């Protein structure tokens, strides 16, 4: 509703009230006359009140007859008082002024009446009509937006009376708007239509209120917001309702899918490990299986990995594994042994050089290992042997993935993942000033420790059999280990780890005279080291170990310990509760000198 003009003063309001006329009912008529003025005449046509420039131009002043000042309006006034429908606007001309007037009858509650003449010039009238049409259009547009909202909307007044409700809210609450519009929320709660009301909470607290409610098996998040006037009084409460049932369902579905993906990833890792165990990598011990799982897991990331372990444990094999199971598997894997390159050439080999960079350089320059590994993986073995000058350039690459060739000025960006490996203690080298601390931190993003062979005794027999079969197939011969030879090899500490084991297996396959490899075929240093008591921790039985083999293995260990403690066969026999001949026979059987 449009506000009335400021010039409607108290006397006019008092006169209208005396006639039983509500000034609030005249808002539209006053709005049309806001740019020109108005005149109010009693039932006899005498002007009682007049205001505005248009009224002044027509000579409409209190006490004058309306028909005398504006005869053009006489017939319209009579018709209006007689109960006729409002007519068209009447054009009035006074000199150069062109005015418009509309006559309306004012009906009082007690049967009295009066005439209202709303005046305006053409321009102001059009402006008012445009404002009215624009306001109506905006109101329609706002209502269309509210009705199209998928969220429920309520509007209540400051006394909790429901003013309107949009279709979405009616659907969410399974109600007809006619059930609630015009009623008070307190009544609706008392009747049980709602268990509680956010509107009442807003009125009680004077603050925005959030509430979780259930409606017909659906969960709604309800938010009530107070709307206040200029004086701070509560005018309206706007309630927003949002259905979160589908959101919760989607959340549960996403969680279930994530669990399924995690389960699939775990199963894929297990399958990958099983495949590895059936080919080049034999992992029967828990420590080795854990190392393989870690390798498969870090392969899916693109982080720098530092592979740690003694010489010969298979650090290069782990680098192969990580590259093979990464997204770079179809790109090159370039392996570089940093200890095999002369210090003076390390930088040129790694980062390349431009033509004429140094004496002996190729005329066209040369790409370095980093450029050769573009898009793939660069494995820097024996990283501890890298000179300090080259460590600086490697650190720079790990920070910004850019390199500069030796003798060049322009840098280039490369997409290369770096894997590094060493058997040395890099922390100790840092303390001694032989390795840069910042490079150590850059390389040590994900450390991966490969256990030595002596710490995974469950793997020794399977690995021995694997390589004996492998070399036997390669050389076209068949070989297998005797129980005594297997026991000796199980007790050996393998300082050279898997590399030493592979070399030994090749030697035994080539040099043994018979199909069965016995203790006499083993290298003297292996037998001597075992006989001297340099034995590894007690090996666990694998799936292929028989009861007889386990008994013989235990018997051999007891004999080795007794010989180390007592020395002579006589003392050994006394300590073990057998005769000396038994001790001699068993020592010979197990190859213990």
DSSP one-letter string for 574-591: HHHTS-HHHHHHHHHHTT
Q: Tokens at residue 476, please?
A: 């076209």
Asked if residues 107 and 113 have their Cβ atoms less than 8 Å apart, the reply is yes
Name the one residue in this structure whose structure tokens are 């790694």. Answer: 350
H or E element that contains 51: strand 47-51
- Residue 136's pLDDT band (cuts 50, 70, 90): low
The enclosing domain of 486 has a CATH number of 1.10.8.60
Position 536 scores a pLDDT of 45
DSSP one-letter string for 61-89: -TTSBHHHH-GGGHHHHHHHHTTPPP---
260 falls within a domain: no
User: Is the domain of 427 the same as that of 469?
Assistant: no
Total of domains in the chain = 4
Q: Is the pLDDT of residue 528 over 90?
A: no
Position 116 scores a pLDDT of 85
Name the one residue in this structure whose structure tokens are 């099983």. Answer: 274
User: Is the domain of 52 the same as that of 79?
Assistant: yes
395 falls within a domain: yes
Can you list the positions of beta strands (E) in 208-365? 209-215, 218-228, 234-243, 305-308, 333-337
Q: Tokens at residue 46, please?
A: 């005498």
What mean pLDDT do residues 439-447 have?
92
Helix residue ranges per DSSP H, 180-285: 185-190, 198-205, 245-278
User: Is the domain of 301 the same as that of 434?
Assistant: yes
Do strands 305-308 and 446-449 pair parallel, antiparallel, or not at all (unpaired)?
parallel
User: Is the domain of 447 the same as that of 468?
Assistant: no
522 falls within a domain: yes
The enclosing domain of 376 has a CATH number of 3.40.50.300
Residue that terminates a domain, selected from 243, 268, 302: 243
User: Is the domain of 288 the same as that of 424?
Assistant: yes
The enclosing domain of 35 has a CATH number of 3.30.450.20
Average pLDDT across the chain, whole number: 80
Q: Is the pLDDT of residue 58 over 90?
A: no
What mean pLDDT do residues 4-28 have?
65
376 falls within a domain: yes
Q: Which is more confidently placed, 508 or 520?
A: 508
484 falls within a domain: yes
What mean pLDDT do residues 73-95 have?
74
With a pLDDT cut of 70, the percent of the chain lying above it is 79
Burial of 93 (0-12, 13-18, 19+ CB in 10 A): exposed
Q: C-alpha angle with apex 398: 395 to 400, nearest 5 degrees?
A: 105
User: Is the domain of 496 the same as that of 545?
Assistant: yes
535 falls within a domain: yes
User: Is the domain of 311 the same as that of 432?
Assistant: yes
| Half-sphere exposure in the Cβ direction for 558 (13 Å, CA) | 14
Distance separating alpha carbons of residues 117 and 104, to the nearest angstrom: 7
The parent domain of residue 549 ranges over 464-589
141 falls within a domain: no
Position 100 scores a pLDDT of 80
Q: Which is more confidently placed, 274 or 178?
A: 178
Q: Is the pLDDT of residue 539 over 70?
A: no
Residue that terminates a domain, selected from 192, 227, 243: 243
**Dihedral pair phi/psi, residue 222, rounded to 5°:** -110, 130
Distance separating alpha carbons of residues 388 and 554, to the nearest angstrom: 51
- Residue 101's pLDDT band (cuts 50, 70, 90): confident
Neighbours of 592 (CB within 10 A): 18
Burial of 88 (0-12, 13-18, 19+ CB in 10 A): exposed
User: Is the domain of 299 the same as that of 356?
Assistant: yes
User: Is the domain of 287 the same as that of 421?
Assistant: yes
Distance separating alpha carbons of residues 273 and 293, to the nearest angstrom: 7
pLDDT tens digits along 208-247? 998 887 777 778 888 999 998 888 888 889 998 888 776 7
Can you list the positions of beta strands (E) in 95-217? 97-107, 113-121, 152-157, 162-165, 209-215
Residue that terminates a domain, selected from 243, 269, 294: 243
Can you list the positions of beta strands (E) in 414-466? 417-422, 446-449
User: Is the domain of 198 the same as that of 113?
Assistant: no
Q: Is the pLDDT of residue 178 over 70?
A: yes
List Cα–Cα distances, 572 to 109, 556, 577, 580, in angstroms: 133, 13, 8, 8
Asked if residues 508 and 470 have their Cβ atoms less than 8 Å apart, the reply is no
List Cα–Cα distances, 47 to 73, 156, 253, in angstroms: 13, 43, 77
Q: Is the pLDDT of residue 81 over 90?
A: no
Provide the whole-model pTM.
0.47
pLDDT tens digits along 367-426? 889 999 999 999 999 999 999 988 999 999 999 999 988 888 888 899 999 999 999 999
List Cα–Cα distances, 35 to 125, 129, 373, 480, 502, in angstroms: 7, 11, 83, 115, 107
Position 573 scores a pLDDT of 86
User: Is the domain of 217 the same as that of 343?
Assistant: no
458 falls within a domain: no
Q: Is the pLDDT of residue 551 over 70?
A: yes
Q: Is the pLDDT of residue 511 over 70?
A: yes
**100-138: b (≥16 Cβ within 10 Å) or e:** bbbbbbbbbeeeebbbbbbbbbeebbeebeeeeeeeeee
Q: C-alpha angle with apex 364: 362 to 366, nearest 5 degrees?
A: 70
User: Is the domain of 509 the same as that of 564?
Assistant: yes
Burial of 456 (0-12, 13-18, 19+ CB in 10 A): buried
**Dihedral pair phi/psi, residue 587, rounded to 5°:** -60, -40
């Amino acid at each position: 509703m449009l506000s009335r003009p400021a010039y409607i003063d108290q006397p006019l309001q008092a006169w209208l009230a005396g006639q039983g006329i509500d000034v609030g009912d005249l808002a539209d008529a006053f709005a049309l006359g806001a740019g020109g003025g108005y005149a109010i005449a009693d039932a006899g046509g005498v002007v009682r009140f007049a205001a505005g420039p248009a009224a002044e131009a027509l000579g409409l002043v209190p006490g004058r007859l309306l028909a005398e000042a504006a005869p053009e309006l006489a017939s319209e006034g009579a018709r209006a008082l007689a109960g006729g429908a409002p007519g068209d606007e009447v054009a009035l001309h006074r000199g150069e002024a062109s005015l418009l007037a509309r006559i309306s009858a004012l009906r009082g509650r007690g049967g009295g009446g009066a005439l209202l003449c709303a005046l305006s010039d053409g321009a102001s009238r059009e402006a008012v009509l445009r404002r009215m049409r624009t306001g109506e259009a905006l109101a329609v547009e706002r209502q269309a937006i509210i009705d199209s909202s998928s969220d429920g909307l309520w509007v209540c007044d400051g006394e909790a009376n429901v003013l309107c409700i949009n279709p979405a809210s009616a659907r969410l609450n399974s109600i007809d708007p006619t059930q609630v519009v015009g009623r008070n929320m307190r009544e609706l709660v008392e009747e049980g239509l709602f268990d509680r009301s956010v509107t009442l909470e807003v009125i009680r607290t004077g603050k925005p209120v959030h509430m979780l409610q259930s409606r017909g098996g659906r969960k709604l998040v309800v938010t009530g917001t107070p709307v206040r006037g200029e004086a701070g009084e509560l005018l309206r409460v706007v309630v927003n309702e949002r259905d979160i049932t589908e959101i919760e369902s989607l959340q549960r579905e996403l969680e279930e899918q994530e669990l399924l993906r995690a389960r699939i990833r775990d199963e894929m890792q297990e399958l990958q490990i099983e495949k590895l165990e059936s080919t080049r990598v034999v992992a029967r011990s828990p420590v080795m299986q854990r190392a393989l799982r870690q390798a498969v897991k870090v392969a899916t990331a693109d982080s720098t990995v530092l592979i740690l372990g003694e010489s010969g444990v298979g650090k290069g094999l782990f680098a192969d594994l990580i590259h093979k199971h990464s997204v770079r598997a179809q790109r090159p894997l370039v392996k570089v042994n940093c200890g095999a390159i002369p210090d003076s050439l390390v930088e040129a080999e790694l980062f390349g050089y431009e033509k004429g960079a140094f004496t002996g350089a190729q005329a066209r320059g040369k790409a370095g290992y980093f450029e050769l590994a573009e898009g793939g993986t660069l494995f820097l073995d024996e990283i501890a042997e890298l000179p300090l000058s080259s460590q600086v350039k490697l650190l720079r690459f790990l920070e910004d993935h850019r390199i500069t060739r030796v003798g060049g000025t322009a840098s280039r960006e490369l997409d290369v993942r770096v894997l590094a490996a060493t058997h040395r203690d890099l922390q100790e080298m840092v303390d001694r000033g032989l390795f840069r601390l910042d490079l150590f931190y850059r390389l040590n993003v994900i450390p991966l420790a490969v256990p030595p062979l002596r710490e995974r005794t469950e793997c020794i027999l399977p690995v021995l059999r694997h390589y004996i079969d492998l070399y036997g197939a390669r050389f076209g011969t068949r070989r297998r280990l005797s129980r005594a030879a297997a026991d000796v090899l199980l007790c050996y500490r393998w300082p050279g780890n898997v590399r030493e084991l592979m070399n030994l297996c090749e030697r035994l396959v080539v040099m043994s005279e018979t199909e069965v490899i016995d203790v006499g075929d083993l290298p003297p240093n292996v037998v001597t080291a075992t006989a001297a008591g340099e034995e590894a921790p007690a090996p666990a039985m694998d799936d292929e170990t028989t009861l007889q083999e386990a008994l013989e293995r235990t018997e051999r260990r007891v004999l080795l310990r007794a010989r180390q403690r007592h020395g002579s066969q006589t003392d050994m026999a006394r300590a073990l509760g057998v005769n000396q001949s038994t001790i001699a026979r068993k020592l010979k059987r197990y190859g213990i000198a």
